[in-house]
Amino acid sequence: MSDLLFTPATKIAALIRRRKLSPVEHIEAVLAAVERLQPKLNCFVTVTADQARKAAREAEQAVMSGQKLGPLHGVAVSIKDLIPTKGVRTTFGSVAYADHVPDRDDTLVARLAAAGAIMIGKTTTPEFGIKGQTDAPIFGTTRNPWDLERTPGGSSGGAAASVAAGLAPLGLGSDGAGSTRIPAACCGLVGLKGTTGAIPYQEARDAFGNVVAAGPLTRTIADAALMQSVMAGPDALDPWTANVAPLGQVAPALLAQDLSGLRIGYLARAGNKAVAADVAANTRAALGVLEGLGAEVEEVTADIDWMAEDQRVLYLCSIANNLGPVVDRFGDRTDPVLRAYVATGKKHDVAAYIRAINARTRLFRAVQGLFDTYDFLVSPTLTRTALAADFNGASGIVDIDGTAVGPVQPHWTGFVYPFNLTGHPALSVPSGWARDGLPTGVQIIGPRHADGNILRLGALLEQALPWAARIPPVAAA
């Protein structure tokens, strides 16, 4: 059972195509594990067991009758509860949508189904995905399978917790300020935020100013690449997707394991004061692997305004304008962090918002300028391991190596949000484990439309520092 639950999606799909594994057997194993671990992890809002079993039987019949099979035929996938699913409750983590049942599938859900994937349920998210921890009044607290007292990160924390615990090899998350990469780092997974437009994002309120990218949470690079590729392609509702290659072209120089001539800029800071010693050591170890393959690594010393305060202005003004009416209507039934964010966002005037928009442009151009010197940028994904499950994202102070350093943004998540604002592809992969036994992550950033290149660099790290075989204690018990 454990072997099957922790088998990569690519292998599961291959076994199903060769009739060595039944889709019914795979889905039943996943659903049994969900039933066993959901009470401990609380990572699902809704489990679609009946629909999944029906789809598995149909998938098995398709195999036996020799029908053409999609690349994910029969493979279990979970869908974050921010993403609409036809006929299946989609709450957005909010009391305002507790009984909401959409009449349509988001295009990504439809594309995964067309590729043969079988949805097993909707995973938890903080209310409207607003924070880097996953808890909400509507369902409670989601917990990290490596340590139940810690958060799995957010806002795709339910997806990350489920994949890390073996509850489906694929999880669809979304990332508006680090929300796939944060939980990937917290849970020892691969988390990809592609170039803006690499895959459609139909749920954006502001399609032209969109900073959100849906994307995979997986245990392996190959699974992430496969999942991303089946979701890609133009979409009439997303103006960024026109003529965008799914993963871009992998540079020929990366196809071998000789990285001679490759230039990597190491971001030791990005608006944050400090990085935990074990996180920094693991990041340097990952960079050492790339140096050992011939890459040149140097610390980025360019003076970059990471716009930490302007980031908050953009983020909180958006929340205040879009979600203020929910707080006005439902009051203390909403997440206290949401209420605090709305209140703070309302204090900023239009001039502050315009200044922040201008700062975003300067940040984009500064990052673009770095790619005149470097082929890739590499940083820690987070400054430390997962915070406590009950950490207060609105007023809590992050502790690093025994020193209180400041609020979550930028002192825990300062490395991730800038690349939502610039639109560059960013990938988090495990870099090792810290003294507290929790995973750490390293982030790889590439030029726009170099998604395939950052996945290839991640694959080289995966080969040298394999991580997928490690199983969290809650799943191994």
Residue 162 and residue 173: Cα distance in Å, rounded? 11
* Tokens standing for residue 208: 């032209």
Can you give the pTM of this predicted structure? 0.98
Given 80, 122, 131, 193, the catalytic residue: 80
Identity of the amino acid at 436: D
Unique residue bearing structure tokens 């500064």: 366
1 band by pLDDT with thresholds 50, 70 and 90: low
Q: What is the pLDDT of residue 253?
A: 86
CB-neighbour burial class of residue 407 (10 A; exposed 0-12, middle 13-18, buried 19+): middle
CB 223 within 8 A of CB 8: yes
Per-residue confidence band for 15, with pLDDT thresholds at 50, 70 and 90: very high
Residue 388 DSSP class: B
Q: Are the C-beta atoms of 459 and 221 separated by less than 8 Å?
A: yes
Tokens of 74: 């029969």
Burial of 309 (0-12, 13-18, 19+ CB in 10 A): middle
User: What does the alpha-carbon distance between residue 335 and residue 265 come to, in Å, rounded to a whole number?
Assistant: 39
243 — pLDDT class (breaks 50, 70, 90): confident
Identify which of 344, 345, 350, 323 has the alpha carbon closest to the alpha carbon of residue 334.
323
**Could you check whether the bond before residue 155 is cis, i.e. omega within 30 degrees of 0?**
yes
Question: pLDDT-derived band of residue 248, with 50, 70 and 90 as boundaries?
Answer: confident
Q: In the predicted model, what is the mean pLDDT of residues 237-249?
A: 80
> What one-character-per-residue DSSP string does 79-132 give?
EETTS-BTTB---TTSGGGTT---SS--HHHHHHHHTT-EEEEEE--SGGG-SS
pLDDT in tens, 222-234: 999 999 999 999 9
179 catalytic? Reply is yes
Record the tokens describing residue 79, joined without a space.
């869908």
Q: Is 162 a catalytic residue?
A: no
Q: Decide: 73 and 49 in contact? Cβ < 8 Å.
A: no
The side-by-side arrangement of strands in the sheet containing 439-445 is 44-47, 118-123, 76-80, 170-175, 213-218, 190-193, 426-433, 439-445, 376-380, 263-266, 296-299
The DSSP bridge pattern shows strands 439-445 and 426-433 to be antiparallel
- The closest of 76, 64, 66, 65 to 33, measured between CA atoms, is 76
The arithmetic mean of pLDDT across residues 402-414, rounded, is 97
Q: What is the average pLDDT across 165-172?
A: 98
| Stretch 195-202: mean pLDDT | 95
What is the chain's mean pLDDT, rounded?
Answer: 96
Helix axes 451-464, 277-292, angle to 10 degrees: 100
d(C-alpha 477, C-alpha 467), whole Å: 19
Q: Is the pLDDT of residue 247 over 80?
A: no
Q: Assign 140 to helix, strand or coil.
A: strand
Among 22, 78, 162, 179, the one annotated catalytic: 179
Band of residue 246 on the pLDDT scale cut at 50, 70, 90: low
Q: Give the three-class secondary structure for 414.
A: coil
Q: Look up 155 and say whether it is catalytic.
A: yes
Cβ atoms 424, 192 nearer than 8 A: no
Q: Where are the domains of the chain?
A: 2-476
- pLDDT (tens digit per residue) in 24-59: 999 999 999 999 999 999 999 999 999 999 999 999
| CATH code given to domain 2-476 | 3.90.1300.10
Q: How many CA atoms lie within 13 A of 464 on its CB side?
A: 18
Question: Residue 410, preceding bond cis, omega within 30 degrees?
Answer: yes
E strands, 362-458, where?
376-380, 398-400, 403-406, 426-433, 439-445
Selected catalytic residue, list 22, 78, 94, 155: 155
Q: Percentage of the chain with pLDDT > 70?
A: 99
For residues 220 and 170, give the distance between their C-alpha atoms in angstroms, rounded to a whole number: 10
Q: Is 78 helix (H, G, I), strand (E, B) or coil?
A: strand
